Amino acid sequence: VPPVAETTTRTTCPYCGVGCGVIARVAADGAVSVAGDPDHPANFGRLCSKGSALADTLSLDDRLLDPKIAGATASWDEALDLVARRFAETIAEHGPDAVAIYGSGQFLTEDYYVANKLMKGFIGSGNIDTNSRLCMASSVAGHKRAFGSDTVPGTYRDLEEADLVVLVGSNLAWCHPVVFQRLVVEKERRPSLKVVTIDPRRTATTELADLHLAIAPGGDVALFNGLLLHLLQEGVIDSAFVADHTRGLTDTLAAASGGAGTLAVDTGLDPAEIAAFYALFAATEKVVTVYSQGVNQSVTGTDKVNAIINCHLLTGRIGRPGMGPFSITGQPNAMGGREVGGLANQLAAHMDIDSAADRDRVARFWNTARVTDRAGLKAVDLFTAVADGRVKAIWIAATNPVDSLPDADLVRRALETCPFVVISEVMAATDATPYADVLLPAAGWGEKDGTVTNSERRISRQRAFLPTPGRTMPDWWIFAEVGRRMGYDAAFSYASAGDVFREHAALSGFENEGSRDFDISGLADVDTAAFDNLAPVQWPVRRGDRSDGEGDDQRFFADGRFFTPDGRARFVPTPVLPLQIDASRPMVLNTGRVRDQWHTMTRTGKAARLTSHIAEPFAEIHPEDAARLGVTPAGLVRIASRHGAAVVRALVTDRQRRGSVFVPMHWTGQNSSSGRIDAVVAPAVDPVSGQPGLKATGVDVIPF
Ligand code: SF4
């Protein structure tokens, strides 16, 4: 029903982890327009191309509007009863680990919370993982090793207060454009602010850089180990901080020294470039090191994170204005997912599955005796378990692993053979939906309510400004209804997203007393009106703290106290390991994003102005490699690994490093017959974080 009067709603962009505030206006005729929210502290009114085009993505074409069973329209009761019954039967016959949920950093925190509670607290399995595993699991693991907690210490403002910003594995200009714009503005205002980019490719981001290190794939650990040794050698060490607030330096230096002789080879860099970077880092106290998917999406991703953090610990450059390591998340709510414990190896509210005290605390809070005592299967392993029959019922929500997981053809085969597949979706047809026994229509952006948390720990409201179309429902409601039908009525009787949020906030403060970093118990009593009006606010918000966003930009670790048992941060030894790829294939495939598309293009693909930037998938390849391989500019090339193949158009450019080829990850079987690049990517994972190495697969590049 179109609104009869114009409405204006403050909400949040559903794309990247910057978390920009958006003002959505619905005119009396139903036309929607969006603008940046000038009062939102992430973006101060700015939006990037994707955010600006949000109104173009709201048509109901191609939407899934009704529940379906075996392809036929069904009622909600029929669909939910069937899901609950088949899950319960599978658990009764094969145990709780025979079922799984695979969710998404696109979830709102409330969706995430209910799904996680259902699986870990009532089904009694750890088998809930999400596409956040592909996004920042290595940062989570690195933070926990160093800080004892998954804590991003700083804020976006630190980038503006720094004198040196080091961007590692981050094409910030395209992937986090509004944070990049903030950096551009500050550099224009204050040219003495230096920017270094560390990336195998020359990108739009490197145009801002004073120094670009076109590092070899996998060279980051060697580079930061070398930096650690250089800082020590030059006496750039905060001895008091190291003595009073850290442990483990001696072993870490020994591990770093092991690779000192092969630095230029391991990094693929000119020694003079390395020396210039080291000198700049050593000479500048206010340094923020920002890292993103080039660091995380690696089989040594966790070590890369710790190699970076080690340098900040040695210099005491953490917890102070303009200083610190800064993980910038890819997805809009990867951080919210971490808060609720939505990954297979987490519990809830930053508590640990392997801690008996934490399990007991969560069990008492949830009033359940079934809290799982072991981690579940992480994304890549989860779909291997579906393929080999260990997992017999899977529920996929708000993501499409048939396109986005590595070895994507294996994921497709896994779903083909899985006895029971449930998919919650906003879209009627994706590459995954043909394998669904039950399709559940989910409400999308602008139609549902809840919260998200951005990369600087800022919680913002996403608010509905459109009616829910057809019979779509919010994801939290769908999970809760299945929970009730499985017999857990009392635990899943939520009337609104606000109910879920209040419970989540209360759990974060339950028997906490500052022992955990994540605490928003100060928001546990927000009534309906206060939840509706909740201003963007950074956590922690402990009981008694202000909840109106004033006094924000708080930093963790300003007092040198970390969340390890002894309160000290840990240096973590990060030995240099050889790049493990299929050496029989001469090129290294790197995957990533383009400026105007998001994930598998289900939303951005609807906006004509976004497809005009880059209309089709491509393979960026250096001219010397192209000549050697017989690849012609704009000719088609076949990119093949032992897992699969894709055919895309060659983009011959010296922006690309020799020996590497870059292909964007957005195109799927829905929008390109052959550009589904994750079918090519090897399913190798980081042994600590379980995050796949999406940026280094050995491939052949063959003219097609
Ligand atoms: Fe949305 Fe990210 Fe662009 Fe902001 S920078 S408008 S959050 S896509």
pLDDT digits (tens, 9 = 90+) for 240-255: 999 999 999 999 999 9
State in words which class domain 7-57 has: mainly beta
Question: Mutate which of 12, 15, 54, 329 to test ligand 1's pocket (most atoms within 8 Å of Cβ)?
Answer: 15
Q: State the sign of the Cα–Cα–Cα–Cα dihedral 301, 303, 309, 315.
A: negative
Cα 625 to Cα 116, 155, 270, 385, 629, distances in angstroms? 47, 41, 20, 39, 6
Ligand 1: distance of its center to the CA of 445 in Å? 14
Ligand 1: distance of its center to the CA of 236 in Å? 37
**pLDDT value at position 5?**
79
40 touches ligand 1 (CB under 6 Å) = no
Helix axes 497-509, 109-116, angle to 10 degrees: 70
**pLDDT value at position 90?**
98
Give the number of the atom of ligand 1 that is nearest the alpha carbon of residue 51: 6
* 551-557 mean pLDDT: 80
Instruction: Please name the residue ranges forming H helices in 234-300.
Output: 239-245, 249-257, 263-267, 271-283, 293-296
Q: Whose CA is nearest to atom 3 of ligand 1?
A: 48
**pLDDT value at position 395?**
98
Tokens 């069937």 -> residue = 82
- pLDDT of 640 > 70? The answer is yes
Convert the pLDDT of each residue in 308-343 to its tens digit.
999 999 999 999 999 999 999 888 898 899 999 999
Instruction: Tell whether pTM > 0.90.
Output: yes
Residues in the chain: 704
Do 64 and 426 meet the contact criterion of CB atoms below 8 Å apart?
yes
Pick one of 3.40.50.10470, 3.40.228.10, 3.40.50.740, 2.120.10.90 as the CATH number of 68-135+333-538.
Answer: 3.40.50.740
Convert the pLDDT of each residue in 184-211 to its tens digit.
999 999 999 999 999 999 999 999 999 9
Q: How far is 257 from 575, CA to CA, in rounded Å?
A: 9
**pLDDT value at position 272?**
97
Ligand 1: distance of its center to the CA of 53 in Å? 11
16 touches ligand 1 (CB under 6 Å) = yes
328 touches ligand 1 (CB under 6 Å) = no
- Mean pLDDT, the chain, whole residue set: 95
Ligand 1: distance of its center to the CA of 52 in Å? 9
Q: How far is 559 from 316, CA to CA, in rounded Å?
A: 11
**pLDDT value at position 551?**
59
Q: How far is 452 from 108, CA to CA, in rounded Å?
A: 6
* 511-517 mean pLDDT: 91
Do 155 and 18 meet the contact criterion of CB atoms below 8 Å apart?
no
Q: How far is 361 from 436, CA to CA, in rounded Å?
A: 37
* 354-375 mean pLDDT: 97
Domain borders along the chain are: 7-57, 68-135+333-538, 137-328, 587-703
3-state secondary structure 244-257: HHEECHHHHHHHHH
Instruction: Please name the residue ranges forming H helices in 510-565.
Output: 528-532
Do 378 and 344 meet the contact criterion of CB atoms below 8 Å apart?
yes
- Dihedral angle over CA of 283, 285, 286, 287, nearest 10: 60
522 touches ligand 1 (CB under 6 Å) = no
Q: How far is 225 from 575, CA to CA, in rounded Å?
A: 8
Ligand 1: distance of its center to the CA of 377 in Å? 31
Q: ipTM of the assembly?
A: 1.00
- Report the CATH fold assignment for 587-703: Barwin-like endoglucanases (2.40.40)
15 touches ligand 1 (CB under 6 Å) = yes
What strand order describes the sheet that includes 32-36? 7-12, 21-26, 32-36
20 touches ligand 1 (CB under 6 Å) = yes
| The two three-digit tokens of residue 351, written as one number | 């508590």
Give the number of the atom of ligand 1 that is nearest the alpha carbon of residue 36: 6
Give the residue with greater pLDDT, 673 vs 133.
Answer: 133
Cα 565 to Cα 161, 221, 347, 518, 570, distances in angstroms? 32, 27, 18, 16, 11
Question: What CATH number has the domain spanning 137-328?
Answer: 3.40.228.10
